Chains A and B, each alone.
Chain A
Amino acid sequence: QVQLQESGPGLVKPSQTLSLTCTVSGGSISSGDYYWSWIRQPPGKGLEWIGYIYYSGSTYYNPSLKSRVTISVDTSKNQFSLKLSSVTAADTAVYYCARVYVAATRGYFDYWGQGTLVTVSS
């Protein structure tokens, strides 16, 4: 059973960089069949895809966040990470990491972390 666990600071100051790590257990991040994604959910609102990464390092980002987002992978630690720069209060959200299956006509997020709340405030 694959498990994902987010970790990182729960409070970030405005204009600073939000940094989170997702640790994967029960499966290898290098398996090749999946991508590894970050998704966020502001309090009381819906889900927003941030981006994902393949074990090789190839990345794909939401165009609305692309200028501020960096996702990286460390296969030796079975982890991937998110950095979001120049944060504002609008970036306050629960941040989830998830495993993604991607094919030509279908795809899905099948395993999710429990989520971690990040608050942007001075």
Chain B
Amino acid sequence: SSELTQDPAVSVALGQTVRITCQGDSLRSYYASWYQQKPGQAPVLVIYGKNNRPSGIPDRFSGSSSGNTASLTITGAQAEDEADYYCNSRDSSGNWVFGGGTKLTVL
């Protein structure tokens, strides 16, 4: 089965831009989706498809993809963006895989 690799931790200064990446072979043929999870809460979908945001997600969140790498970018990070972020995709066998998660710290 396919795997998705994320950096365990990333930090960003308040108001600056941060990119969180996700690598895996499945990303060459299937878009990643991205989830934000705050402590004690269920994950929330923030980006899906080529670069789509569900209703209610701020436009400072954006997504992109190139080859086997998908990226989630937060432009002008806010204190409330501090959370764990997970990427997700579907491999060629139809199995869904989550990345290991990236803990984002806003300084």
Which listed residue, A37, A46, A106, touches B49 by the CB 8 Å rule?
Answer: A106
A105 touches B (CB below 8 Å): yes
Closest A residue to B30 by beta carbon equals A105
Determine chain B's interface SS by DSSP, over half rule: loop
Check B96–A49 contact: CB distance below 8 A.
yes
Interface residues as binary, B61-102 with A (CB distance below 8 Å gives 1, 0 otherwise): 000000000000000000000000010101001111111110
Check B1–A112 contact: CB distance below 8 A.
no
| Complex Cα gap A90–B41 (Å) | 21
Closest B residue to A64 by beta carbon equals B1
With known contacts A60-B94, A110-B54, A47–B43 Cβ distance under 8 A: yes
Interface size (B, Cβ < 8 Å)? 27
Check B42–A114 contact: CB distance below 8 A.
yes
Interface positions of B from 30 to 64, Cβ below 8 Å from A: 30-31, 33, 35, 41-45, 48-50, 54
B11 touches A (CB below 8 Å): no
Check A107–B95 contact: CB distance below 8 A.
no
Query: In the complex, given contacts A63-B93, A108-B88, A114-B41, what are 10 additional A-B residue pairs having Cβ atoms less than 8 angstroms apart?
Result: A46-B99, A62-B95, A62-B96, A96-B43, A101-B48, A106-B31, A106-B50, A107-B90, A108-B45, A109-B88
